[in-house]
Amino acid sequence: MDITELILDDHREQRRLFAILEQIDRAETGVLSAIWARLAAFLELHALAEEEIFYPALLRVGIAAHRKGGVEDETLDAIHDHNEIRDAIADVASHPVGTDAWYAAVAAANLANSDHMAEEEREGLTDFRRLAGLQTRHQLAVSFAAFEARNFAGVEPVDKDPAEYVREVEQGQRTQASGSLSVGSMKRN
């Protein structure tokens, strides 16, 4: 297993679920609601798993490889993107399912998520494959899979201050999640 592949697998599933939503008749609000609920929970869980496991590791290997500025910028941008995705998900909930406003909000969430995934695939994941050995990527994949499995029912969406997030990771205040339910660390703003 490789954490970069698990993240890419999640990205493919996110794209698939957005595509499914586009193919369901707008009158089938129960189906739309169910698919959206699954996708929204998945997006939030994926973002938190990256924040707890992937981005701290990216910062560590980047700093060790003397690429601190590059990985810091990537991480700051990713945390900002995650906040935008969370906000877009919350906006969808403010509209009746199947309405034009709901579809517009879903499209905005899709755009925010697609932009983030493309950038992450181009930068963060590529850098991590270059900087981290296979054993490290495997160990992180195990933690990532365990974290997602333990939290499959969803997580509390909490925006984070990107600069504070990076500062905490670099100062060792954020520790790599072992896949446990470390609920206290999940509630950081």
**Across the chain, what does the average pLDDT equal?**
91
Distance CA 6, CA 165 (A): 23
User: Is residue 188's pLDDT more than 90?
Assistant: no
Which tokens is 137 given? Answer: 């990527």
Indicate the pTM of the whole model. 0.88
Which tokens is 74 given? Answer: 């990537």
User: Is residue 183's pLDDT more than 60?
Assistant: no
3-33 pLDDT per residue, tens: 999 999 999 999 999 999 999 999 999 999 9
Distance CA 182, CA 189 (A): 15
105-133 pLDDT per residue, tens: 999 999 999 999 999 999 999 999 999 99
59 closest CA partner among 50, 71, 70, 67? 71
Distance CA 150, CA 53 (A): 14
155 closest CA partner among 51, 7, 79? 51
Mean pLDDT of 141-164: 96
